[in-house]
Amino acid sequence: MNAIGYYNGTIGALDEIKIPLLDRAVYFGDGCYEACFVQNKKAFELEAHLDRFERSMALLKIVPPKSREALKTALSDCMAAYGPDTGLLYWQCSRGTAKRQHNFPDASVPSNLAIMITPKPRPEAHGTVRLMTAKDIRFTMCNVKTLNLLPNVLINQQATEQGYDEAIFVRDGIVTECTHSNVHLLKDGALWTHPTDRYILPGITRMGLIGICNALGVPVREEPFPKEALFTADEVLISASGAGVRSATEIDGAPVGGKATALLHLLQDEYDRKLTEETRA
C-alpha cells in the first residue's frame, strides 16, 4: 500500500482508518506526535525520536498507549505493510476518548495511538530554501512536540502565499526556530544554534547535526542570536527530519549565505552519509 494508517491496533489503507469524534486530539489537540524519515522499511534515528516522544508524553502527563517495545512493533508492522522505498513515518498519542471537558478523563480511559506512513522523497543532500521572518506568536511550551500547531500553520501559510519555503520565528528580536524546522548559522567556522529551552523543539536532525560537528571538530555555540545575525552569517541552515539539512539562499527577499560552502557541503554530505548507512537495505 502507498499510504498506511493505524489506530489502536487496526491497520490498513490510510483513507480507510477512522478516528472517533470524541478522541481528545480532535477537539483539544490534546496529545503529542513524532515523525521520521523511512527508507528500505527502516526508520532513521528511531531511538532518538522515541526518546523525545516519551519526554513529550511525560510533560503533558499522558500515560503511554504502549510500552516502548510494543510501540516499536506497531511501527514496524506499519513499515512492513508500506510499499514505496521512502516515506514519512508519523505517530501520535492523544489523552484518550472521552466527553469534551477540560479536565483530564478518568484514569481508566486509555490513551490513543495513531500511526501513518505517507510517500516522501529522500532529502536532497545539498537542498536549498527561501525563507522569511515572522513574529513568534506561539506559546511557551515549544519544547513539547504537541499537536497544537495552529500558529505554525498560519505563519507557514503566510510564507507559502508570499513565495517562501519556510518562515523563521523571531521572539523579542531573537531567532528561535522555524514553523517546522530548526534554524542555525555558520559563522567564522562554527555552528550557532538556539539552546534547547522552552522556545524551541529539540530537533532530532539538529541533534544529529551537532553530533556531526563534534565528530569533525567544528565548534558549536548553543546560544541565542538576533535576527540581524541571519544576514551577516556565512551560511544559514535549517534542519528537519523529513527534509534533512538545507541552506538558505534568501531571507525576506535579501540574498544570504554562500560564504562557507565547503563547510556547509561537508556537514550536508556527512548527514546524507549517516542517513544512507542507518537505512541501508
Average pLDDT over residues 260-276: 98
Kindly indicate the confidence band of residue 197, based on its pLDDT and cuts at 50, 70 and 90.
Answer: very high
CA–CA separation, 119 and 240 (whole Å): 16
- Write down the catalytic residue from 145, 187, 259, 274: 145
Kindly indicate the confidence band of residue 147, based on its pLDDT and cuts at 50, 70 and 90.
Answer: very high
Q: For position 40, what pLDDT does the model report? A: 97
Q: For position 273, what pLDDT does the model report? A: 98
Which contiguous run of DSSP H or E holds residue 132? Answer: strand 128-135
> What architecture is the 4-119 domain classified under in CATH?
2-Layer Sandwich (3.30)
| Each residue's pLDDT tens digit, 55-113 | 999 999 999 999 999 999 999 999 999 999 999 999 999 999 999 999 999 999 999 99
Decide: 187 and 229 in contact? Cβ < 8 Å: yes
Q: For position 81, what pLDDT does the model report? A: 97
Q: For position 217, what pLDDT does the model report? A: 98
- The domain spans of the chain are 4-119, 128-278
| Each residue's pLDDT tens digit, 21-38 | 999 999 999 999 999 999
- Cell 546524507 locates to 272
Average pLDDT over residues 233-261: 98
Q: For this structure, is 41 an active site residue?
A: no
Compute φ and ψ for 211, nearest 5 degrees: -60, -40
Q: Give me the CATH topology for the region 128-278.
A: D-amino Acid Aminotransferase; Chain A, domain 2 (3.20.10)
- Cell readout for 142 is 515549544
Pick from 228, 230, 221, 129: nearest CA to 181: 129
CA–CA separation, 129 and 250 (whole Å): 7
CA–CA separation, 135 and 68 (whole Å): 37
